[in-house]
Structure formats: structure tokens, C-alpha cells
Structure 1
Amino acid sequence: MNALKPQQLDPRLAGLVHGIDLQALSRVPAARLETTALPNIGTLELVSPDGFERDYQQLYLSMFHGGERERPDLIVQRLRDDLDGRRSGLAPYRVVGIRDHNGQAVGAAQFSVLPLPKLGYAVPYMQYIYIRSQNRRQDLSEVLHTMALAVATADSGIDGGQGIVPFTLFETEPPNHGTTASSQSTATKRAQIHAKSGSRGMMLVDESGQLCSSHVQPGLEFGDRPITLTWAIRPSPAPQDSSHFRIDDELGLSLLTAYYRSLREEGFREENVALAENMARARCTGRRFVEIALDAITPAMYQNLEPAESLP
């Protein structure tokens, strides 16, 4: 990653991550990146609101179905508010994008940086990450993961923080999730890919040893019901950062609070957020946070946990 040429970083992104050792945050060796990813990168950028609307929006829409994607106009407005200084004091929201040598959008990572002040952490919550089909298997998603860690590190130090970014947080479907053989296979393959990256599930366990999901995602639009997915954590490759954390109640509850606060700050419907948060906090009663292998998660751990909720 340190072999990126100056012209491959747009000025806003270059200024933000200046002085950060990018290769230390990469899971992929530098020699491999120099043959797989870097030749296919025209520009890495902090995507502007106009840039997202003009160049990334259609790619984003093509990658996610309606029930799992946020409306792009809300993303554009959030980026515009951030650029104009109207989100000062709120959790940073970032889109890091890759363009090819012709200036076409290749892929992007869209994430919030969740501050955990009591622990001295900043955690990138990866909402969406996507690469167009012709550029897959080029380690470009790994480049985006690296840049998310770098941007979160920079954001965590802006207000005098410790700059500790121990992991990336993201949500995923459990193995074998879905209503068809194809969707179940896709979910299982995705879980296997996440596991190969070192990601682990963050769950709850009661005194009897019974596990359940700790994550309730609110409905994105009016009338949408909350759904249970799986929280996953992907440790930072930087040992000085990833060695700091362990999954326990202090970390789990801090993440829960920061996650729902960020949704409110980003303008999601209060009734949807409140319902999901109340459900998640109710699950925490009499249980503690633990981490488990992603491929050890079973349907009983995330289905029909509340009478008012069921996964589609």
C-alpha cells in the first residue's frame, strides 16, 4: 500500500491519511498488492456528494437489493452536510472510492466511524463495500478495508483521541441463511470469505450456554420491520491496535450504544431505531457478549428470537 503513487490518492484523502503507515493496516503483502491491486487503481478518493451521485450511485444500486440498501439521496445529502460542516460533532460518515485509469467507478466502501470514548477506540462500521464484477479477485476490496482503517485512525485523532482502531465492525448474513438453495449457498460462501479474513461473530450467551445474535438492524424505511443479522468483527492487521481489545460486555454495550446513536445522527426513522434498540437491549438482559467462529452460527441463534420479529 505504501507503493501507491502520489497521483493515485486524491488530495482530500491524501491529506487525511498523511503519516499513517498504510501497509501496516493491510492484510495483503505489499509484493502481492503491487501485482494485483495497484496497477488497477487510477485514483483512490474520498468521494464527494456530487461524485457519488454522478459516478458511484448506479454501481451501488446494482450491488444491493432494495431491502438492504439505503436510499442514495440520503447518502448524498449526508456527504453534502459533512462537506459543508453541518455534521460537526457527529460520527464521521465516509465513502472511499476507487476509480480506474479512465475515471470510471470501480468500487467503494461506505462506513461510519463509531467513537467509543470510554475505551479510547474508534471503530469503522462498514455499511457497504462493493467492487464491480470485472475487477474482482484483484484484492481491491482489501485495499478498501485498509483505507477504512486508515481513515478511521485519522478521524480518531482529530479531537485528540488515542488513535486506536482495533477492528472493523460489519453485519452479515449467517451461514445457510436464505429461502432458496442459491441464497443459502451465497450466504455460506460469504461467511467462509469473512472467516478467511480473520473475522469472528459477536454474539450473546446466557448462563445455560445458549447463544443468540446480539444484532438487530432497524427497518430502513417507514413500515419496514427490524431484522436479525450477525455482527462480525475483523481485527486490524496492526498488532498494536488489535491486541488492545477483547469481546466483553463493556465493548459490546459500547458498540450497541454507538451504533444506534449513529443511525439517529444519520437520519434514520426514530421509531424504527428505537424498536430495534429496545429489542437488542432486551436480549442483553441475563446474557453476556462473546465471540465465536462465523461458521458456528446456526439458525436457532438468530431466528424467531422475539414474537414480533422473524427473518424473511
Structure 2
Amino acid sequence: MDTRTLGRTGRTVSAIGLGTWQLGADWGDVDDTAARDILDTAVSSGVTLFDTADVYGDGRSEKFIGSYLADNPGHGITVATKMGRRDAQDPANFTLARFREWTDRSRLNLGVDTLDLVQLHCPPTAVFSTDAVYDALDTLVQNDAIAAYGVSVETADEALAAIARPGTATVQIILNAFRLKPLDEVLPAAKAAGVGIIARVPLASGLLSGKYTTETTFAENDHRNYNRDGSAFDVGETFSGVDFDRGVAAAQEFARLAAGTGLSTSQAALAWVAQLDGVSTVIPGARSVEQARSNAAAGEAAPLSDGFTAAVKEIYDRYFREAVHPRW
């Protein structure tokens, strides 16, 4: 597994991490045994970063990870959690007092005194330019409640605002073959500032597995069913905000492109993002041990060609640029 430095945290992490939203909620049911097996398989495959949040299953995801850490001393795993969505999305709620409350809960769930990395969880845009927010985060670092902080963003402009702050260690952003805007300014700015990039939704909620058809359905409690119109949270989090039918058609083209790499379609999609200059780690989720093992293998892939990248951009331009690029 390739490894990189995770921005200003100074930590070395695997090029492919593990997103654990699905171990909490919103992706259909994952039982306790399956969740533990997924964590075990990811780590045995070289994964050294888990990404979670305090609202994934109301703490269920954090607790799974905390139990795993307790049972595996000397694990060498970096845990990136998130905070900020346990209350109304009002900038007035992003205060030191609330940050203490939220991080104390995460520390308890994870069973640690100091959180490795805490990310603001896609807060209102105004939060990214509020001095008091960063002062509060700096205070948590000074108090050893957190070792480092970052942000999770919806838009490139939010990412650039956070990168400009000297204490920001990482930026988490949606980045995949169907969402290329971060390549324009965000990745170069982060690299220049020494800020780590955590690429989320790298498979466009599964579209880039190449396995879906226009007839594919999802469980009632899966966000790919109930959030297609953005009624629950930013629609960009579901299929990267692209029209499902167009996404299926584009994914079929991507699958034909990936067939020449010796990788599976999903592995090619993950490897391509992981190999972008400036990306620190990529955090696909996994709902089975097979997915966890396959995802991790993408971190060992040989470099993809310039021709592959050119073809990815051509697919994006033809299917998605007009609708997606101006929005996020």
C-alpha cells in the first residue's frame, strides 16, 4: 500500500483509507459482525486511516471503531472524525462550548483522550470565514482534546477559504471521475500550503463500480434512494449530484476504459483519484469484506497513463461539466 503524509497532521497514512458512514447508517443495514470484519479486513490489507463522524448512526460508527482500537493496541491507525451536524446548521452554533461538547462525546465513543483529527462536517458556508471558529479549534489543540483539525466541504470555494487558514491540517472534498472541479484550484492550493486532501465519495456512491443499471434499486433507508432530490442533505453527496441515468451511461464508458488497466472498474476509479498530485488519501466505504479488500488493493496499483486521465476528463466534459462544475 502506498503511503503519504496527511497534510499538516504530519501523520503517515495509507493512500486508500476506509470511510465508515456505512457502518453507522444511511447505506442499508450492516450488522455488528460484518462491521468488525470490514475493519479487520481493511487493516490487514494495509489501510491505516478510518474516517467517521459523530452523527454516523448517532455515534454507532465511532463506537465500532473505538472497540476495534481497544482490542488492537499498537494499531497505528489514524482516525479522522467530524463534528458540527448534531445541531441546527446555524453559524451561531459553531462555538468553543459546542465544540467541547461534541469532541468530548467523540472522545468517549472512540475511547481516546485526544482525537487524531477532527473535521468540521460541511458546516454553513459562513463558518469557513469566521475567525472565532478557528480560534476555538486552536484552543482545542492547545488543550490536547484534538491533535489537529480540518474541514469537510461541499464546494471548492469553501475548501479554498479553509486552506488559507494556517491551522487547517486537511480538507475533505468530493473528488472522483464525475466531480473534477477540485483539480482546477483546490489541489494546487492545498499542495502549496501543505494541507492534506482527503477525497471522499470516490466511487460516486457506487456508480463508478460500473455495476448499476437504470433499473437498480436501493433500500428504503439508503440515501441513494431517499436523498436523490437533496431533501435530507446536499444532493452532491448522493451519486456526486449527477443524474442517475446519465451516471449509469458514463460509468459504462468508464468501465470500458478501465478494462485496459488490469484493474476492476472500481479499483481503476480509486487508483486514479489516489494518484492525483496533491491527494493524501481516498476514503471509499465498504459494506463487505470483499469490497474492503478490493478497495485497498487500488492503493498498490501501477501508475495510470496520461491517456487514461485524458479519457476521464473527456467523459466528464461530455456528461457532467455543464451541470456539475458551476454548482460545487
TM-score, normalised relative to structure 2: 0.27
Greater share of residues in helix: 2
